[in-house]
Amino acid sequence: MSQKPTMPTDFTEIPPQISEFRRIIRVLFGRRLVVFGMIVILAAIIAAIFASVLAPYHPYKQDLDKALLQPGQEHILGTDALGRDTLSRIIYGTRTSLMVGIVSIFIAALIGMTMGLIAGYFGGITNTIIMRFIDSLMSFPMMLLALTIAALLGGGLKNIMIAIGISMTSVYARLMFGQVLTVKESDYVLAARTIGGNNFRIMIRHVVPNCFPPLIVLITMNMGMAILAEAGLSFLGIGIEPPGAAWGAMVNEGYRYLLKIPVLSFAPGFAIMLVVFAFNMVGDGLRDALDPRLRGTL
Amino acid sequence: MAAYIRRRLIQAVFVLIIVSMMVFIVIRLMPGDPILIYLAQQEMQNLTKEQIEQARHEFGLDKPLMLQYIDWISSLFHGEFGTSLFYREEVSKLIIQRLPITLHLGLLAFVISTILGITAGMLAALTRGRWLDTLMTLLANLGITVPIFWLGILMIFLFGLRLGLLPIFGYTSPFDGFWLSMKQLIMPVCCLAIFPLASSARQTRSSMLEVMRQDYIRTAWSKGLKERVIVMRHILKNGLIPVITLKGMSLSQILGGSVLIETVFNIPGMGRLSVEALLSKDYAIIQAVVFLTAIMVVLVNLVVDISYGWLDPRIRYS
């Protein structure tokens, strides 16, 4: 008896015969905003690494004779109240923003995923306690939680990264927890168990890799959120210590001279927006390219 | 439904207990001995060691941590939040003054962002691929991106300083001066609403597009229903379910945002209070503000979850 191949009902769902990797690249580069976002991120990374080469002046160099200059030939974006070059400080501020973004997301993902893994793996009372703990963490507004943790630890860039990291753990815990529950019931885990794989090995080998597509999307999207949170905290005066350059703190400093030199607070705010927008667009693009089912859930 | 509500209630109580423990422990971990701070506040620094221990005993701070926690909880139930070091006033009094201001701004932002966000998302989904959709999507993407404190400053610069249309700071109760109050509210409420507005527009658009692809929508079209009926009864009703979960979170975002916006616009609300308390290490206030905010978020999420279960029966049994 010959069996007819089952016909796919919806042809748009089945891409033509191309490799997964090429399909992802095609979706990503097919969108102008995603390409724009990638260019901005690349530029930000270059600015952060080569800040000392790119910046026209030293970011901490004070020159009180040239304080509060309007944008002009010598200082493209003017100078602040201490005579420091705004453009140079914005370029150096890229370092702060990217570093806080990367490190705090790393902390969030590490703690969150471990908690989610433990909760899903052990189940029962451990699960209840950990997941309710995560719920409790989620019931503090992120800004307030990060502020409180930062106050507890004392300011400084390192503590800000920990504070933002902790306040973002819950999403990662939930992601991991959901994945563990799904994968635990799957046939291949049963197969792995029958050939004698122990639980720990199964979790690491089968559960963790399954989280990768949503994890990459989540990390990219949360980069923007972490950068925004850092900007907010440094705007409030908590975070990097002077004379370090952070965009949020620069917006706050410029706010005092809003009428005289508006660019002083406009420019760093625009930098924040540009970078956050870039991460959000690339995150959206990655979500649609890697796993369209996630649309609307992340 | 009753079982579902009961389960969610138990869960919420459990979460609240953990929240209170977290707040309690975090505040105890903060640097500085509360009894020394209190004595300094009462201008009684020159006490002997025995007298300090005596005071510690009076305040129950020599008891085991668990008993201290129970003491703290029971005093909360009596509405006692302690005394503020910085303001030299009862914390409960400060909160009664400031909470209504934050809630006034927050609720306005919540309502505006819900109505406009869902409308914008709906319009975008229905005009998919056309210029209106492109515009709405771009605006929504900018809305979830913009640092709200910076947006506030831009608005102050344009509408306050350059055009002179709106007052640039302060808060007036609507009962004291309705028009001044309204004028002062416009800019801060816009800033608070922008993020939840944009994110609910994005969510509405994508979940409506998701629903439009479903078989039952095709069935509805093919059985000849009117477009209005399909959009309102089938697409919108199903598409809004994920948006409701998001709205539960948006209260938390608004309360978090008010920390920034109340600082920018110099509004004496809870957000401003918490920043001042944190900068001056006024633990009694921090404890009260953080705990109250968390309680509000938990309660709103409870309401959201229950309405969610009511709208979508599948949730109740999961």
Tens digits of residue pLDDT in B211-232? 888 888 888 888 888 888 888 8
The arithmetic mean of pLDDT across residues B249-268, rounded, is 91
**Token pair of A183, please?**
């994968």
Alpha carbons A122 and A235: distance in angstroms, whole number: 42
Burial of residue A198 (CB within 10 Å: 0-12, 13-18, 19+) is exposed
Nearest partner of B291 among B8, B24, B98, judged by Cα: B24
Read off φ and ψ for residue A12, nearest 5 degrees.
Answer: -70, -20
Q: CA A129, A134, A135 angle in degrees (round to 5)?
A: 95
Least confident segment among A55-59, A117-121, A231-235: A55-59
In this model, does residue B316 exceed pLDDT 70? no
Read off φ and ψ for residue B90, nearest 5 degrees.
Answer: -60, 135
In this model, does residue A4 exceed pLDDT 50? no
Cβ of B18 under 8 Å from any chain A Cβ? Answer: yes
Residue A166 per-residue DSSP state: H
For residue B276, what is the nearest residue in chain A, using CA coordinates? Answer: A236
In this model, does residue A182 exceed pLDDT 80? no
The answer to whether A93 touches A250, Cβ cutoff 8 Å, is yes
For residue A223, what is the nearest residue in chain B, using CA coordinates? Answer: B145
Cβ of A164 under 8 Å from any chain B Cβ? Answer: no
The answer to whether B285 touches B270, Cβ cutoff 8 Å, is no
Tell me which chain B residues have a C-beta less than 8 angstroms from the C-beta of A152.
Answer: 26, 29-30
The H or E element containing residue A122 is helix A86-122
Question: What is the per-residue pLDDT across A215-265, written as a single tens digit (0 to 9) for each?
Answer: 888 899 899 999 999 999 999 988 777 778 889 999 998 888 888 888 888
pLDDT confidence tier of residue A8, bands split at 50, 70 and 90: very low
β-bridge partners, B35 = none
Contact yes or no for A151 and B210 at CB 8 A: no
Torsion angle (degrees, nearest 10) of CA B147, B148, B152, B157: 20
Contact yes or no for A269 and B29 at CB 8 A: no
Interface test with B, best of A144, A171, A279 (most B CBs within 10 A): A144
Alpha carbons A268 and A265: distance in angstroms, whole number: 6
Tell me which chain B residues have a C-beta less than 8 angstroms from the C-beta of A182.
Answer: none
The arithmetic mean of pLDDT across residues B232-257, rounded, is 85
What is this structure's pTM? 0.86
Q: Please give the distance of CA B121 from its chain centroid, rounded to a whole number.
A: 22
Which residue from A138, A147, A296 is facing B210, i.e. has the nearest CB? A296
Per residue, what are the HEC states of B116-171?
HHHHHHHHHHHCCCCHHHHHHHHHHHHHCCCCHHHHHHHHHHHHHHHCCCCCCCCC
- pLDDT at position B42: 63
| Summary mean pLDDT of chain B | 85
β-bridge partners, A79 = A85
* Radius of gyration of chain B, Cα coordinates, nearest whole angstrom: 24
Interface test with A, best of B24, B142, B153 (most A CBs within 10 A): B153
What share of chain B has pLDDT > 70, as a percent?
92
The answer to whether A201 touches A208, Cβ cutoff 8 Å, is no
β-bridge partners, A85 = A79
In this model, does residue A181 exceed pLDDT 70? yes
Alpha carbons A186 and A205: distance in angstroms, whole number: 14
- pLDDT at position A2: 45
The answer to whether B104 touches B188, Cβ cutoff 8 Å, is no
Tell me which chain A residues have a C-beta less than 8 angstroms from the C-beta of B157.
Answer: 258-259, 262
Sign of the four-CA dihedral B246, B251, B255, B257: positive
Tell me which chain B residues have a C-beta less than 8 angstroms from the C-beta of A277.
Answer: 141-142, 145
Cβ of B279 under 8 Å from any chain A Cβ? Answer: yes
Residue A99 neighbours by CB under 8 Å, 6+ apart: A48, A157, A161
User: What is the number of alpha carbons within 13 Å of residue B11 lying toward its C-beta?
Assistant: 21
What share of chain A has pLDDT > 70, as a percent?
91
- The better pLDDT of the pair A16, A38 is held by A38
Contact yes or no for B203 and A296 at CB 8 A: yes
Cβ of B169 under 8 Å from any chain A Cβ? Answer: no
- pLDDT at position B280: 77
Residue B74 neighbours by CB under 8 Å, 6+ apart: none
Which residue from A135, A140, A273 is facing B145, i.e. has the nearest CB? A273
- pLDDT at position A19: 72
Question: What is the per-residue pLDDT across B83-123, written as a single tens digit (0 to 9) for each?
Answer: 776 677 788 888 899 999 999 999 999 999 999 999 999 99
pLDDT confidence tier of residue A105, bands split at 50, 70 and 90: very high
- The better pLDDT of the pair A31, A199 is held by A31
* Segment of A21-25, A66-70, B209-213 carrying the highest mean pLDDT: B209-213
Which residue from A136, A145, A149 is facing B15, i.e. has the nearest CB? A136
- pLDDT at position B39: 67
In this model, does residue B270 exceed pLDDT 80? yes
pLDDT confidence tier of residue A273, bands split at 50, 70 and 90: very high
In this model, does residue B50 exceed pLDDT 50? yes
- pLDDT at position B35: 65
Read off φ and ψ for residue B83, nearest 5 degrees.
Answer: -115, 140
Which residue from A33, A273, A284 is facing B147, i.e. has the nearest CB? A273
- The better pLDDT of the pair B134, B284 is held by B134
Contact yes or no for B242 and A255 at CB 8 A: no
* Interface predicted TM-score (ipTM) of this complex, two decimals: 0.85
In this model, does residue A291 exceed pLDDT 60? yes
Alpha carbons A249 and A234: distance in angstroms, whole number: 5
DSSP result, A70-120: PS-SSSTT-B-TT--BHHHHHHHHHHHHHHHHHHHHHHHHHHHHHHHHHHH
For residue B297, what is the nearest residue in chain A, using CA coordinates? Answer: A139
Tell me which chain B residues have a C-beta less than 8 angstroms from the C-beta of A269.
Answer: 147, 150, 153-154
| Summary mean pLDDT of chain A | 83
Read off φ and ψ for residue A79, nearest 5 degrees.
Answer: -130, 160
Contact yes or no for A237 and B147 at CB 8 A: no
Which residue from B150, B260, B264 is facing A143, i.e. has the nearest CB? B260
For residue B250, what is the nearest residue in chain A, using CA coordinates? Answer: A141
Read off φ and ψ for residue A24, nearest 5 degrees.
Answer: -60, -45
Alpha carbons A81 and A182: distance in angstroms, whole number: 57
What share of chain A has pLDDT > 90, as a percent?
29
Interface of B with A in 282-311 (CB under 8 A): 286, 289-290, 293-294, 297-298, 301
CA distance A2 to chain B (A): 31
- pLDDT at position B259: 93
Nearest partner of B15 among A114, A144, A137, judged by Cα: A137
Which residue from A152, A273, A295 is facing B26, i.e. has the nearest CB? A152
pLDDT confidence tier of residue B250, bands split at 50, 70 and 90: confident
Q: CA B239, B243, B249 angle in degrees (round to 5)?
A: 170
- The better pLDDT of the pair B129, B144 is held by B144
3-state secondary structure at position A198: coil
- pLDDT at position A201: 76
Tell me which chain A residues have a C-beta less than 8 angstroms from the C-beta of B160.
Answer: none
Interface test with B, best of A12, A134, A139, A153 (most B CBs within 10 A): A139
In total, chain A counts a number of residues equal to 298
Residue A65 per-residue DSSP state: G
* Radius of gyration of chain A, Cα coordinates, nearest whole angstrom: 24
In this model, does residue B318 exceed pLDDT 60? no
Alpha carbons B140 and B118: distance in angstroms, whole number: 11
Q: Report how far apart, in Å, the C-alpha atoms of B279 and of each of A231, A238, A253 are.
A: 17, 9, 17
In this model, does residue B169 exceed pLDDT 90? no
Interface of A with B in 73-112 (CB under 8 A): none
- pLDDT at position B23: 86
pLDDT confidence tier of residue A297, bands split at 50, 70 and 90: very low
